[in-house]
Amino acid sequence: MSILLKSTENYGNVYIDGGVIAEIGCAAYDADTVIDASNKALVPGFVNTHTHAAMTLFRGYADDIPLQTWLQEHIWPLEAKLTDEDVYWGAKLACLEMIRSGTTAFNDMYWHALASARAVDEMGIRAAVSNVFIDIAGESDDAVQKENKKLTERLMKDYSDRITPALGPHAIYTVSEESLLWTAEFAREKDLLIHIHVSETEQEVSDCIERTGMRPVEYLDHIGFLGPNVVAAHCVWLDDSEIALLARHGVKVAHNPVSNMKLAVGMTMRYTALRAAGVCISLGTDGCASNNSLDMLETAKFASLAQKAAANEQTVMPADEALAMITRNGADALRTGSGGGSGSITEGSAADLLLIDLLLPEMTPLHNLSSNLVYSAHGGCVDTTICDGVVLMQNRVVPGEVEILRRASEVTYDLVNRE
Ligand SMILES: [Zn+2]
């Protein structure tokens, strides 16, 4: 299927064919679909490198509550009752919100992963899908391995190429060393991404030191877990030696500024030190229970402002850098960026693209597109979303959206009232 984006403000005509950007600045070819892109800017689709998509069902359910109470009395009891059907509609709702705010790829870690994969596949975007696992509470290593092998096989076989199988050990304090070691080995053998939470809170660091004599990243290095296939979410509480270890192993850091602030983790991620060490840093929203939105432009603004405020320095994380974090860096972390993948607007790249409406107060005047996008715009400024060369939203309309909103609300009310 071919698409002609006619007269974009920043690239002229752009011709898309077979899921890739075939030609930039070309003549106005005939195409299966012609989109008038005048007064619109073309940008790469955004990449969200840490979320739990189906947690959209918990949006606004329990806010402004101390962390342990929030988890133990509100979130975990509901999660224990989740079904495939709940997760499916929660993930559909997440994908709808992502498409409407310009996200074309995300890194997911949640229960009932196959239900999420089905939702993503149907909605037309990309995701690295992992089934979160926890085995400190008595589950045997054997069960974890069997389950993950089976899920990986199904994620590889039963879904489109837009679904990338990944492994989702929850964190070092919820997964046994045996299972972490197995995860690292299995990931190397099958060339899989690993998605894990690392050093989100100070408590995690002090508990790890007490248990192992090492800080979390040192511990993960010590057991041979770290590598360029690891996407480590949070990485807030790091010391200098841990930053050097992340850089040495090419670990990808997914920074979640909104979630970190909302859950009051007590520290701003050490962005400048991580960047100086050469670590690839991208941005995530985290789940909707701790954000509560999946809007990557909002996340980029929070990230930049939090760093400026913490450093008392206006020049930290300028708009271009924040934008690269939600496009190129995210695509590199999820491996949709190399070898003709997404994250940039070049001929041969995957056609994961957005048209931003420029006829909006937020985008006027247009001195600097990156500045307007990061500091002024929001997901609602995205007019058209294209993923893998398929138009998923045009003129802010996603086919079938009312049904998704209705069903997601229905399963949520049912879940909350379920015995
Ligand atoms: Zn998380």
Given a contact cutoff of 8 angstroms between Cβ atoms, the answer to whether 24 and 258 are in contact is: no
Q: Check pLDDT > 60 for residue 340.
A: no
- For residue 162 the two structure tokens come to 């837009």
How much distance in Å is there from the Cα of 287 to the middle of ligand 1? 6
| Distance in angstroms (rounded) separating the CA atoms of residues 323 and 308 | 16
| Distance in angstroms (rounded) separating the CA atoms of residues 86 and 83 | 5
How much distance in Å is there from the Cα of 393 to the middle of ligand 1? 27
Q: Is residue 375 part of a domain?
A: no
How much distance in Å is there from the Cα of 167 to the middle of ligand 1? 14
Q: Is residue 374 part of a domain?
A: no
How much distance in Å is there from the Cα of 92 to the middle of ligand 1? 18
Ligand 1 ion local residues (Cβ < 5 A): 286
How much distance in Å is there from the Cα of 233 to the middle of ligand 1? 7
Given a contact cutoff of 8 angstroms between Cβ atoms, the answer to whether 107 and 254 are in contact is: yes
| Distance in angstroms (rounded) separating the CA atoms of residues 172 and 208 | 8
Q: Is residue 30 part of a domain?
A: no
Q: Is residue 206 part of a domain?
A: yes
How much distance in Å is there from the Cα of 200 to the middle of ligand 1? 9
Give the CATH number of the domain where residue 235 resides.
3.20.20.140
How much distance in Å is there from the Cα of 286 to the middle of ligand 1? 5
Given a contact cutoff of 8 angstroms between Cβ atoms, the answer to whether 195 and 152 are in contact is: no
How much distance in Å is there from the Cα of 317 to the middle of ligand 1? 23
Q: Is 30 exposed, middle or buried (0-12, 13-18, 19+ CB in 10 A)?
A: exposed
How much distance in Å is there from the Cα of 415 to the middle of ligand 1? 21
Q: Check pLDDT > 70 for residue 319.
A: yes
* Residue the block writes with tokens 């996008």: 373
Q: Is residue 381 part of a domain?
A: no
How many domains are there within the chain? 1
Residue-number span of the structural domain to which 310 is assigned:
46-333
| Distance in angstroms (rounded) separating the CA atoms of residues 42 and 373 | 12
Confidence at 139, pLDDT banded by 50, 70, 90: low
Q: Is residue 359 part of a domain?
A: no
pLDDT at position 249, please? 98
Q: Check pLDDT > 60 for residue 83.
A: yes
Q: Check pLDDT > 80 for residue 271.
A: yes
